């Protein structure tokens, strides 16, 4: 049964839900950020079925989040690389990371670490213009005063 | 068919995926942030079936993201209120909003506006310690040097 589609709703949260709501998709993207490129790397690291993984990768290619490149001719083998759109999705995973760490904690989790400084990195969502953490009680939907 | 569960995986992204991957759940949370409290408000604003909405609200209560309060005795009627854990989830929706706005744009979308200043608000994910936008290429998983 195909579920309800949200990809045409006039809300960016709804359209993003349409993508994220495909089982496994956020984890496939996580693996792409961790350096997976080949089908077997995704498959072995996640333990997902080949059929589901194929569907997920195909949709991510269709959506322009990954591109498929031939890296071997005989037999033909492809690898998957992040596009700018796919790389931008890190923002969503980072917010999921932060919230999951705060509210669904598990002592076995690794940390996010800055390669250069060795410091722990903790994602936070702010207002781009002011740098202040977002306070949802101060927000409304509408048109800005500009 | 029950899908694969991610709620015990040692990764905050995986555990958050387990929640978000329930169809409709991010949209039910969005409506809670927009002020929905009663079952019928959620149901009418989303056009979701009552059965699916009941399942989603029950899970959000179980997970401690919403609490259920009796607001009428005869017949008994409940409303749903955000907890701190639920309110914290705004961070995830905000990142979805930003990415969806950038990469799945639609001219009909409303804007996020600050109630006090009337200014448009654009969510951005930064490193809490430095305020710098997250650059995923600088991140690794591991233990911090501390």
Are A97 and B124 within 8 A, CB to CB?
Answer: no
Q: Which residues of B touch A114 (CB under 8 A)?
A: 127, 138-139
- B100 at A interface, C-beta within 8 A: yes
Same domain, yes or no: B31 and B69: yes
Mark whether B30 and B96 lie in a shared domain.
no
In a domain, A97, yes or no: yes
Least CB–CB distance from B110: residue in A116, A129, A141: A141
Question: Which helix or strand (DSSP H or E) is residue A121 part of?
Answer: none
Assess if residue A5 is contained within a domain. Answer: no
Does A16 fall in a domain?
yes
Does residue B49 belong to the interface with chain A, where contact is any CB pair within 8 Å?
Answer: no
Do residues B43 and B110 both lie within one domain?
Answer: no
pLDDT tens digits, B73-85: 999 899 999 999 9
ipTM (interface pTM): 0.92
User: Is residue B1, in this structure, part of any structural domain at all?
Assistant: no
The sign one gets for the Cα dihedral A26, A17, A49, B60 is positive
Count structural domains, chain A.
Answer: 1
Q: Are residues B54 and B104 in the same domain?
A: no
B38 assigned to some structural domain: yes
pLDDT value at B131 more than 70: yes
Q: Are B23 and A4 within 8 A, CB to CB?
A: yes
Owning domain of residue A85: 12-138
What's the whole-model pTM score? 0.92
In a domain, A106, yes or no: yes
Are both B65 and B94 inside the same structural domain? no
The verdict on B42 and B78 lying in the same domain is: yes
Q: What are phi and psi of B127, to 5 degrees?
A: -80, 120
pLDDT of A88 strictly over 80: yes
B117 upstream amide cis, omega within 30 of 0: no
Q: Verify that B82 and B56 share a domain, yes or no.
A: yes
The reply to whether B65 and B116 lie within a common domain is no
User: What's the residue count for chain A?
Assistant: 146
Specify whether B16 is located in the same domain as B61: yes
B33 touches chain A (CB under 8 A): yes
| Residue at A2 is within a domain | no
Residues 105-124 of B with CB under 8 A from A: 106, 108-124
Whether B144 shows a pLDDT value over 80: the answer reads: no
* A67 touching chain B per CB within 8 A: no
For B48, nearest residue in chain A (alpha carbons):
A4
Which residues, at least 6 apart from B103, have a Cβ–Cβ distance to it below 8 Å? A85, A88, A89
The per-residue pLDDT for range B9-55, each reduced to its tens digit, is: 888 988 888 888 787 999 999 999 999 999 999 999 999 999 999 99
DSSP B141: E
Has residue B1 got a pLDDT over 60?
A: no
Judge whether A104 lies within some domain: yes
If asked whether residues B18 and B75 sit together in one domain, one would say yes
**CATH number, position A134:** 1.10.10.10
Average pLDDT of the residues in A10-20: 87
Residues B42 and B83 in one domain: yes
Q: For residue A17, what are the contacts with CB-CB under 8 A and spacing of at least 6?
A: A6, B20, B26, B27, B96
Q: Give the closest-approach CA distance of B25 to chain A in angstroms.
A: 9
At which of B72, B88, B104 does a domain end?
B88
Confidence band of B2 (pLDDT split at 50, 70, 90): low
Same domain as B72, residue B24: yes
What are the residue ranges of helices labelled H in chain B? 12-20, 25-33, 39-46, 50-62, 84-88, 90-103
* Average pLDDT in chain B: 91
């Amino acid at each position: 049964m195909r579920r309800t589609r949200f990809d045409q709703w006039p809300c960016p949260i709804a359209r993003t839900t349409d993508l994220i709501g495909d089982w496994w998709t956020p984890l496939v993207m996580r693996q792409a950020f961790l350096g997976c490129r080949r089908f077997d790397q995704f498959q072995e690291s996640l333990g997902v079925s080949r059929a589901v993984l194929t569907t997920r990768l195909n949709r991510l290619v269709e959506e322009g989040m990954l591109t498929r490149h031939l890296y071997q001719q005989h037999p033909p083998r492809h690898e998957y690389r992040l596009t700018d759109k796919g790389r931008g999705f890190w923002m969503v995973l980072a917010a999921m990371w932060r919230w999951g760490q705060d509210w669904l904690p598990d002592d076995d989790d690794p940390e996010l670490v800055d390669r250069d400084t060795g410091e722990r990195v903790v994602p936070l969502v702010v207002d781009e213009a002011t740098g202040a953490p977002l306070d949802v009680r101060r927000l409304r939907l509408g048109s800005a005063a500009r």
